[in-house]
Amino acid sequence: MAHTWSNWSKTISSTPTDVATPWTIEALETTVDEAIAQCRRLKAVGSGHSFTSIAAANDIQLDLSNYTGIVTFDQHAGRVTLRSGTRLWQIAQLLAGSGWAMENLGDINQQSIAGAISTGTHGTGVRFGALASQVIGLEFITGTGQRLTVSEDQDPEVLDALRVSLGAFGIVTTVTLQLVPEYDLRTVEAPAPLDEVLDNWQAFNDQHDHFEVFWFGHDQNVQTKSSQRLPVQDRSPSPLQRAQNWVTDELVSNGGLALISQLGRRYRRLLPALNRYATRAWGSSDVTAHWSSAFATPRRVRFNEMEYALPFETIPDVVRELRALFCRKNLGSTFPLEIRSAAPDTAWLATNHSQPTGYIAVHQYFQQDFREYFAQIEPILRAAGGRPHWGKLHTLAAADFPALYPKWQQMLDLREQYDPQRIFANSYVTRVLGA
C-alpha cells in the first residue's frame, strides 16, 4: 500500500513509490547504487521538520531514521563522527558523560544532523555559527556513485560546498563535528521596550553569548532571551527552576499559545490585545541548565514559518519598517516574530555566508493561511538583501540567488559534476537551483 509522508507542519505531503530504511552503510550504499543504475529519483528525509517541500520524495524516499549513532569518537580532540540520520537529541545523549558538547543549537532538537546542516539550521549568537559551522568532515555518495571523504584539512573548498547542500548533491552518510568542552547556560528571559533593544542591537548581542528577541508586531515591548555560557556545575535543577521551566515551556509556549491561536483565528480583531497579553504572561525567568537541555524547547503547537537572513546591522531598520507595516495594515499573528543572529560562515550556501547575520522569522498557526501574511512581510526582508532559510517558506526561485550568493556559479558547476542525472532533484530543488 502506498505510504503518504507529511512534514511536521502537515502542509507538505508526498507519496513515494518506494521507501528504503537502511540500518547499515552497506544497505544505504546499495539503495543509492540501485537508484543510479535504474535512473530513479532518490530523496533523503531526516525528521521532516522543513516547512518547504525540500525533503518531499515522489520516487524513492530514503528514510534515515534507523541510520543513527556514533561511528568514531576521538575523545582527546573532541571530534565525533555520526551516522547521518542521528537526531540532535540523540547526539546530546550520546555525548553524556564525555565532557564534550555541541557548540550551538537551534530552538528544537528533533532534526537529524544531516537534515539540519543541509538547510543551514542555526541558533543564535553573534560569536557562533550555524550547526554547519561545527562540521569538519563529511562522507558522501554522489549521483555518479562516487564515495567522497571530505575534511577541512584536505578539501576545505569541497567541504564548504557540501556542508549546506539542500540534499541536492548526494547522500551524506556521516557527519564529523568539532565539539567544545561541555558547558551550562544561564538563560534570563525578560520583557524590554522594543526601541531600547533596537537602539542597542549591537550591544545586546555583544554582551551575551546568545541573544534573541520575540516580538508581536503590534506591541511596543518585546521578550528578550539572553544566555551566558558557564562552567558545568554538579547539580540538578531546583524545584523553583523546574517550576519556572514548566511555566515557560508548557503553560506559555504551548498551552497558552494553543488557546491564543484558536482565539486569534476566530476573532481577528482581538489580535493586538492577545499579543499584548501574551508578552505580559511571558514574564521573567532566570534558569541555569546543562547545554544538552538548555537550547531546545518543546513545540507542540504547529505552525508555518518564513525566515530571512539579513546583514546583521540592518536589523533595527528592518524591524522598524515591519512595525510601520504591522500598524498600517493591521497585520498580525498569534505567534511572535523571532529575531536572532549568527557569526559568518564560509559554506557556499550558508544563509550567513561571509557576513555577520541577523535573522527575522515570522510564524503563522498551521490552521491559518500563511500566504497573505508572509506575502506582506517578504518584500521588506528581500529589499534589505535577505537570504531565505532553505527549510522555511519563501517565494524565491533560481534566478534570484546569484545576486545573493557569491559562489552560486561554482555551486552549479559542482552540482553538474556530482548529480548530472538529477537523481536528487525534486520540485523544490529544481525551483531554487534550476533544472
Ligand X SMILES: Cc1cc2nc3c(=O)[nH]c(=O)nc-3n(C[C@H](O)[C@H](O)[C@H](O)COP(=O)(O)OP(=O)(O)OC[C@H]3O[C@@H](n4cnc5c(N)ncnc54)[C@H](O)[C@@H]3O)c2cc1C
CB of 68 vs ligand X, minimal distance in Å: 11
Residue selected from 50, 205, 227, 279 as contacting ligand X according to rule CB under 6 A: 50
45 lies in the binding site for ligand X (CB under 6 A): yes
Give CA–CA dist 94/182, Å, rounded.
Answer: 13
Give CA–CA dist 50/91, Å, rounded.
Answer: 20
301 lies in the binding site for ligand X (CB under 6 A): no
Nearer to ligand X, 90 or 279 (CB): 90
Give CA–CA dist 110/337, Å, rounded.
Answer: 21
Q: How many CA atoms lie within 13 A of 116 on its CB side?
A: 28
Binding string to ligand X for residues 75 to 104, with x set by CB under 6 A, is what?
---------x--------------------
Binding string to ligand X for residues 212 to 251, with x set by CB under 6 A, is what?
----------------------------------------
Q: Which helix (H) or strand (E) holds 362?
A: strand 357-365
The 3-state DSSP class for residue 42 equals: strand
Phi-psi region of 324 (alpha: psi -120 to 50; beta: other; left: phi over 0): alpha
Binding string to ligand X for residues 350 to 389, with x set by CB under 6 A, is what?
---------------------------------------x
Q: Phi then psi for 62, rounded to 5 degrees?
A: -100, 100
CB of 195 vs ligand X, minimal distance in Å: 26
Give CA–CA dist 380/260, Å, rounded.
Answer: 27
Task: Look at residues 238, 232, 132 and name the one whose alpha carbon lies nearest to residue 182.
Answer: 232
43 lies in the binding site for ligand X (CB under 6 A): yes
Nearer to ligand X, 9 or 221 (CB): 9
321 lies in the binding site for ligand X (CB under 6 A): no
Residue selected from 104, 109, 121, 357 as contacting ligand X according to rule CB under 6 A: 121
Task: Look at residues 149, 118, 132, 128 and name the one whose alpha carbon lies nearest to residue 47.
Answer: 118
Residue selected from 46, 217, 332, 388 as contacting ligand X according to rule CB under 6 A: 46
Number of residues that bind ligand X (CB under 6 A): 32
Query: Is beta strand 60-63 parallel, antiparallel or unpaired with respect to 18-20?
Result: parallel
> ∠ at Cα 75 (174, 288), nearest 5°?
95
CB of 8 vs ligand X, minimal distance in Å: 4
Residue selected from 14, 31, 47, 104 as contacting ligand X according to rule CB under 6 A: 47
132 lies in the binding site for ligand X (CB under 6 A): no
Give CA–CA dist 72/147, Å, rounded.
Answer: 18
Task: Look at residues 355, 359, 346 and name the one whose alpha carbon lies nearest to residue 411.
Answer: 346
166 lies in the binding site for ligand X (CB under 6 A): yes
391 lies in the binding site for ligand X (CB under 6 A): yes
CB of 336 vs ligand X, minimal distance in Å: 14
Residue selected from 135, 159, 171, 306 as contacting ligand X according to rule CB under 6 A: 171
Nearer to ligand X, 218 or 335 (CB): 335
Strand ranges inside 85-162, DSSP E: 100-101, 135-142, 147-151
Please choose, out of 166-174, 186-194, 236-244, 248-256, the segment that lies near ligand X by the rule CB under 6 A.
Answer: 166-174
36 lies in the binding site for ligand X (CB under 6 A): no
> ∠ at Cα 390 (4, 151), nearest 5°?
105
Which grid cell sits at 82?
Answer: 555520526
Q: Which residues pair with 193 in a beta bridge?
A: 221
Which residues make up the interface to ligand X (CB under 6 A)?
A: 8, 43-50, 54-55, 64, 84, 106-108, 111-112, 114-116, 118-119, 121-122, 166-167, 171-172, 299, 389, 391
